Amino acid sequence: MALDPEFLRYPHRRRGMDHDRYEWSQLHEREPVEWPGGARLALWINVCVQFFPLNQRGVPFAAPGGMTMPYPDLRHFSLREYGNRVGIFRLLDAFDRFGLRPSFAVNGAMAERAPYLISVLRERGGEILAHGWDMDSLHHGGLAPEEESELIERSLDSLQKAFGAEHRGWLGPARNESPHTPDLLAERGIHWFADWVNDEMPYRFRTANGDLWAMPLSNELEDRFILMQNLHSEESWVEQVCDACDFLLKEASVASGRILSLNLHPWLMGQPHRIAYLEHALDYITSQPDVWSATPSEILRLCKE
């Protein structure tokens, strides 16, 4: 038995990356970034406002948080809806209490499903990221580029009608991409996206239609990853967030401004038994000196200078 000789050929074995999307660069070698007012740490909180359809096709896979039971999986369907009806209002109250300005990644389908919530978000004036159409409309290689382009168009149009503004940031459902997603996003006027988790600062990402910026939104620290995938306790999530905050503040005092990014899901963190842990974490972070509550576009503007 032997494998095809292709298996011992390495066409991309060369300096830098094995693809052309971005330049190889180590964080510690970059020019320092300064945040306003001498802050050391930019806190970027992003809240996902998501619709998980009951008739999930799961192509090419079911998104994390998606249906797992035979149709109709009302338990998971309604538990995700809980986030948009109940949980998010607990989150909003917590943000107001600590004076924080999160961004919101909104599925296009939510505009029609919850106009009241959209109006609340619009009045708050937080930054809105396009988050695809819904959690069962993944961007993947099985889509023809025209189909995917239509999906992006539909998501952006819905948000533009709902919020009355162009949206320049993108977070893919389940952070999934086809080989063309970055090209299609740039073509449609998206300026930055947050699917890739290879950095802690923004960096330039090449596409066929001009550069995008990749923004760092940690997956390893997000509520879903720690609580739902790893089954860690809420207490541990708080410890991990606080440890990250301490570490980044320390590194920022010798290196460069850093970013603490927290991606949150109201259907998870907005539960009555969890919300206090979010409040503990926010209390800790905001009581540290030199923390700046920032929107992703503000962070990006300073990093591009």
Give me the residues that bind other proteins (CB under 8 A), please. 1-4, 6-8, 10, 12-19, 24-28, 60-64, 140-142, 174-179, 195-200, 218-221, 229-233, 236, 239-241, 243-248, 251, 260
Nearer to other proteins, 4 or 123 (CB): 4
Q: How far is the CB of 51 from other proteins (least distance, A)?
A: 18
Which CB sits closer to other proteins, 55 or 230? 230
Query: Which uninterrupted H or E stretch holds 169?
Result: strand 169-170
Smallest gap from Cβ 33 to other proteins, in A, equals 14
- For the bound state, the minimum distance from the C-beta of residue 96 to other proteins, rounded and expressed in Å, comes to 26
What's the rounded Cα separation, in Å, for the pair 123 and 128?
A: 12
Are 40 and 257 in contact by the 8 Å Cβ rule? The answer is: yes
The least CB distance from residue 196 to other proteins, in Å, is 4
Rounded distance between C-alpha atoms, residue 110 and residue 87, angstroms? 15
CB of 1 to other proteins, least distance (A): 6
For other proteins, the closer CB: 2 or 305:
2
178 vs 271, which CB is nearer to other proteins? Answer: 178
Q: Collapsing DSSP states into helix, strand and coil, what is residue 105?
A: strand
Burial of residue 217, with CB atoms counted within 10 A of its CB: 0-12 exposed, 13-18 middle, 19 or more buried: buried
- Going by C-alpha positions, the residue among 46, 48, 49 that lies closest to residue 115 is 49
The residue among 131 and 175 lying less far from other proteins, judged by its C-beta, is 175
60 preceded by cis ω (within 30°)? yes
Closest CA to 21 of 11, 34, 12, 33: 12
